Amino acid sequence: MPAPIASELAYIRFVSVENMMKLVHSIGLETMLKDLARYIEDDFRRWEKFDKTPRVASHSAEGVIELMPTSDGEDYGFKYVNGHPKNTREGLQTVTAFGLLARVDTGYPELLTEMTLLTALRTAATSAMVASHLAPKGARVMAMIGNGAQSEFQALAMRAICGIDTLRLYDIDRAATEKVVRNLKQKGFDLVPCATPEEAVEGAQIITTCTADKQYATILTDNMVGSGQHINAIGGDCPGKTELHKDILARSDVFVEYPPQTRIEGEIQQMPDDFPVTEMWQVITGVAKGRTSARQITLFDGVGFAIEDFSALRYLRDKLHDHPHYQELDIIADPDDPRDLFGMLQRARPVG
Ligand code: NAD
C-alpha cells in the first residue's frame, strides 16, 4: 500500500444510505451479491491472518448493540450494529448498522459507510457462499421462514449463487409474506406462500430460518427436518435468542464462522461447550470436510462475523473507484503542523 499524502487524508469517503442505494443499482444487485460472496470467501481463505474476537455486545431487555472489529494487518474495520426485535412494532427496523475502514499503517480512517443495506447484502452473500459448499447438489427449492428485512436478499443470493428457483414462504405475520411476494414477483421465482412452517419445509432442499424474537424460539422442530437437507439458521444471533430445537443440532453436522462467538450467540449455545462443530474457513481451504453424503443434514449456525463486514467494506472501497457514489467527509483534523492543533482551531475564529 503506497504511503498516504497528508492532503489526501483531510477527508474520508462517506457512503450515505442514498448513495448505497445508487451504488447497488449501478453495479446490479445480483452481481453485487456474487462479488461479495467472492470477497467473503477470499477472506475466509486467509482466515489465519486476521485479528479475531467475539463481538463486543451491550445487552438490554429490548435488544443488543454490538461492535464488530477485525484487522488483516493492512486494514482495520469495524461495524456498529443493533438487534431490537420489538422495533418493527414501532415502525423502526430490527437491525441498523454503519461501519468504518481504516489504514493500519497510519491509523487514519478511509471510509465511513451506512451498513444496514450492506449487512443484508453481506449476510445473504455469506449464507449463499456457505450453501454453495454444503447444500445438496442441484438444490432448487428453499423454505424461507421469517419474511422480514433480510429475506429478499437471502432469496436473491441463493438464486444467484446456488440456483434456487422456488421459494416456500412462511411468517407468523402474513403481511410480511405478502411483502416478499410483492417484491419478488417480477424476479422469476416460483413463490409459494405457506400457512404453516411444516408446509413451508415440504420438499425444500434448503431451509433458511431468519426470524426475530428475543427468546429461545422453536421455529423448527426435529420432525420437520429430513435427511439430506441444508439448514441456513441465521436469525438466532444473541444469548437467549435461538430458532431450532436442540434435537436438530444433535443429528446435524454443524458448521460455524468463529466458534468463540457462536458458542455465545448461536444455536449451539443450547449444547455443551465441547459440542463438535466445523469452522467454515476450514471447509473452504480443504482442511475439513463439508457435505460428505446425500443423507447428511448440514446446518450453518450463522451469527454474522466481523470478517464478513470487513470483506464488504473492502469491496465497497474497491468499487468506489468506478462507481463514485460518495461524499467527502471532514472528520480528520488537518493542522498545518501536526503538533499545532491549537493553531488549526484559529482557522475558524470569528472575524472582527
Ligand atoms: P425483521 O424484524 O425485519 O423480520 C423478522 C421476521 O420474523 C418478521 O417478519 C416476523 O414476523 C418474523 N417472525 C418472528 N417470529 C416468527 C416465527 N415464530 N415464525 C415465523 N416468523 C417469525 O428482522 P430481519 O432484519 O429480517 O432479521 C431477522 C433476524 O436475523 C434477526 O434476529 C436478526 O438479528 C438476524 N440477523 C442475523 C444476521 C447474521 O449475520 N446471522 C444478519 C442480519 C440479521
Model confidence at 329, in pLDDT bands (50, 70, 90)? very high
Residue 44 structural domain: 6-117+307-343
pLDDT of residue 8: 60
107 shares a domain with 96: yes
163 shares a domain with 23: no
pLDDT at 301 over 90: yes
Centroid of ligand 1 to alpha carbon of 306 (angstroms): 19
> Can you tell me the distance from the alpha carbon of 15 to that of 114, in angstroms, rounded to the nearest whole number?
6
Question: Mean pLDDT of all residues in the chain?
Answer: 96
CATH number for 81: 3.30.1780.10
74 lies in some domain: yes
285 shares a domain with 140: yes
194 shares a domain with 75: no
- Report the atom number in ligand 1 closest to the C-alpha of 238: 34
16 lies in some domain: yes
> Can you tell me the distance from the alpha carbon of 38 to that of 311, in angstroms, rounded to the nearest whole number?
9
Looking up cell 448461536 gives: 266
Ligand 1 binding pocket mutation candidate from 94, 154, 310 (most atoms within 8 A of CB): 94
Model confidence at 330, in pLDDT bands (50, 70, 90)? very high
pLDDT of residue 352: 77
Answer yes or no: 237 catalytic.
Answer: yes
Centroid of ligand 1 to alpha carbon of 147 (angstroms): 7
User: Cell numbers of 94, please?
Assistant: 430490527
Residue nearest to ligand 1 atom 4, measured at CA: 148
Task: Indicate if ligand 1 lies below 6 Å from the C-beta of 130.
Answer: no
State the pairing for strand pair 56-59/64-71: antiparallel
126 lies in some domain: no
Task: Indicate if ligand 1 lies below 6 Å from the C-beta of 279.
Answer: no
Residue nearest to ligand 1 atom 36, measured at CA: 235
Catalytic residue among 75, 171, 237, 309: 237
pLDDT per residue as tens digits for the range 212-245: 887 888 999 999 999 999 999 999 999 999 999 9
pLDDT at 1 over 90: no
pLDDT of residue 3: 61
Look at residue 253 and give its three-state secondary structure.
strand
pLDDT of residue 10: 75
pLDDT of residue 215: 85
210 shares a domain with 161: yes
Task: Return the minimum-mean-pLDDT range out of 58-62, 137-141, 214-218, 293-297.
Answer: 214-218
Q: Quick one: angle between helices 29-45 and 116-134, nearest 10?
A: 70
pLDDT at 90 over 90: yes
Instruction: Annotate 275-312 with DSSP letters as a single string.
Output: ---EEHHHHHTTSS-----TTPPEEEE----HHHHHHH
pLDDT of residue 213: 84
Task: Indicate if ligand 1 lies below 6 Å from the C-beta of 220.
Answer: no
pLDDT of residue 212: 87
312 shares a domain with 213: no
275 lies in some domain: yes
Task: Return the minimum-mean-pLDDT range out of 9-18, 267-276, 323-332.
Answer: 9-18
208 shares a domain with 169: yes
pLDDT of residue 92: 96
168 lies in some domain: yes
pLDDT at 4 over 90: no
Average pLDDT of span 136-165: 97
| Element spanning 200, H or E | helix 197-201
Task: Indicate if ligand 1 lies below 6 Å from the C-beta of 210.
Answer: yes
98 lies in some domain: yes
Q: What pTM value is reported for the model?
A: 0.96
251 shares a domain with 198: yes
198 shares a domain with 330: no
161 lies in some domain: yes
Task: Indicate if ligand 1 lies below 6 Å from the C-beta of 173.
Answer: yes
| Element spanning 17, H or E | helix 17-27
245 shares a domain with 319: no
Average pLDDT of span 205-211: 97
Task: Return the minimum-mean-pLDDT range out of 7-21, 119-133, 286-300.
Answer: 7-21
331 shares a domain with 278: no
320 shares a domain with 199: no
314 lies in some domain: yes
pLDDT of residue 128: 98
> Can you tell me the distance from the alpha carbon of 290 to that of 255, in angstroms, rounded to the nearest whole number?
8
Q: Which of 96, 80, 77 is nearest to 88 (CA)?
A: 96
What total of structural domains would you count in the chain?
A: 2
CATH number for 160: 3.40.50.720
